[in-house]
Chain A
């Protein structure tokens, strides 16, 4: 490798983690951090057991249960009513003991969605490689880490070898000029990006988000954007670490301290892409043009500004695309030309690894304050971690939300994918701050509209999709 060639942030992290380059270009890539949860790990632990292998680096691994945990009632595995969910969590607890993996128990205040707690605890650090058997591992890229989701076979591979066999991805630069206007959030920005480049636009690429519109975001906003890189087809998203990043990392439980922090900082400052570094593809967006967004279909790229209408398949030339649009409209129960703001809402979900941070709860509470959830609407707020919940309660946000008629729950992935009891019913329409609007994602037959936390709260109080800018 040539050190003189200007390199991107991705190139630098990649080069620093190549253990060995095989003749065909496949690399043995070193993994610094392995995050483990209960859904995608049991078969990996079983594979190790069958082969008589141990974990190579338990001290680079951390486990937490997050998908199956009920958000009401006692916080212990034995109390999980659904048998399969209980077995999965108990299996994780057995496996971490047997293999000596550090584990954050459900009762611990630090428990939460793995992608919320990684950054929150300082486990996710700039310049590192981070993997997890979960596609939203892309979240951690907001810190300037190369973080991506892997399947269970690769989970086992990392457990056994602390490496993965990979070929470098292509570099995709998404430059966001200017800053977001009133009422538009990081969620709206990333939905606009996906709408522009499509859900396959990032396939084979790692996205680097740059420009004033990204630099101006706080860490929570950057995590929201990076989180949904996978919805744009990219396994990983990256934001170059800067003063915002360093201030966020400093002092966190697992982050380096004192002289070690200063040493780390000196290294982290070398990470941003060099001037003149080459990207395979560049996309430019103007943040000022981003309005609050709402999805209308069953893929995250099927998105319009809240002021828009349900699109008309008759205007689509390609027969296949037209049929796909019609199929989405049928599933979603929508008629072309309907104003998005006229869509009634049955359920509101505020939470997930996309929007379950304290900043998201604050945005929702700001809209909910002094208002009431509309008659007949069920509105759930599920903090992303125990620490987020505690902080929100310290700020009195739980009371604001409860007084407005929202339900205030315990941390879990919850209604993002309904592996715990939080689901929507067939035909119900949900304004959700999660990341996927796939058919049946939140429950069989359920209809999901992806929105920002403020937009979700606005939908809750008006009982229909609402332009949060109108609420003032």
Chain B
């Protein structure tokens, strides 16, 4: 996983609530056995018409937002399925940070696992940032994870909250599995304890 420290880039305004995972990446594109290559299908139905032609009115089909690295949206971003194809598609397109009033739990979690920083900020702040974003290429936002601030084009700094453990993993680009495996002895001990306390729990290798 790539580290996330600071990011300065074009932010795309997407003032929609309940952007669901089917909107981010429709199910018909989930038939891949890879993580990469999904960026071209990001927001497929919003981005392309039935003939596969770009819809010029959609923000990511416009300059400079084709190169956006930050996305700003409204409430409940990423609701719906657990498909990690959603953050994979965003990442493959080039998005490393999403700012919204709130996120669906599974999507929020999946983002961190892929080096994408989801930032929760109040709706009014999101709307102000959306106005900044509408100014295009001359109005880049900076996201500084270490200091936990979003810097507006006018220099104003907006603080955001983040779980310290997630921040640590993201800043250092650490792999969760590697972290957890450091607890292997505790997992061994736990399993032994459970086997003793709940010997009735059958295995899936053979029917009881």
Contact = CB atoms under 8 A, between A and B. Distances in A.
A235 B106 contact: yes
B204 A33 contact: yes
Interface residues of A, number: 87
Nearest to A331: B45
The B interface, classified by DSSP as helix, strand, loop or mixed, is loop
A61 B203 CA distance: 8
B16 to A, nearest CB: 7
Interface in A224-262: 230, 233-235, 253-257, 260-261
B40 interface: no
B186 A19 contact: yes
Q: Which of B50, B103, B109, B180 neighbours the largest number of chain A CB atoms within 10 Å of its CB?
A: B180
Given A22-B165, A60-B203, A444-B50, A135 B82 contact: yes
B31 interface: yes
Contacts of A56: 187
* Chain B interface category by residue count: 35 or more
Interface string A37-57: 001101100100001010010
Interface in A168-191: none
A281 to B, nearest CB: 15
Interface in B83-109: 83-84, 87, 102-106, 109
Contacts of B15: 320
B125 interface: no
A91 B33 CA distance: 8
Interface stretch (B21-29, B64-72, B139-147): B21-29
B158 interface: no
Contact of A153 (B17, B81, B113, B201): B113
Q: Which of B82, B106, B199, B202 neighbours the largest number of chain A CB atoms within 10 Å of its CB?
A: B82
Given A59-B203, A68-B31, A121-B207, 10 more contacts: A19-B190, A20-B190, A26-B163, A43-B34, A59-B204, A137-B82, A150-B106, A151-B106, A161-B177, A165-B179
14 contacts: A43-B84, A58-B205, A62-B204, A84-B32, A87-B33, A88-B32, A91-B33, A150-B106, A156-B177, A157-B176, A257-B208, A260-B200, A417-B22, A444-B50
Interface of A: 19-20, 22, 24, 26, 28, 30, 32-33, 39-40, 42-43, 46, 51, 53, 56, 58-62, 67-68, 82, 84-85, 87-88, 91, 102, 121-123, 125, 128, 133-135, 137, 149-154, 156-157, 160-163, 165, 167, 199-200, 203-204, 230, 233-235, 253-257, 260-261, 263-264, 267, 299, 320-321, 324, 417-419, 426, 436, 438-441, 444-445
Interface of B: 15-18, 20, 22-23, 26-28, 30-35, 45, 50, 74-76, 79-84, 87, 102-106, 109-110, 113-114, 163-165, 176-177, 179-181, 183-184, 186-187, 190-191, 194, 198-205, 207-208
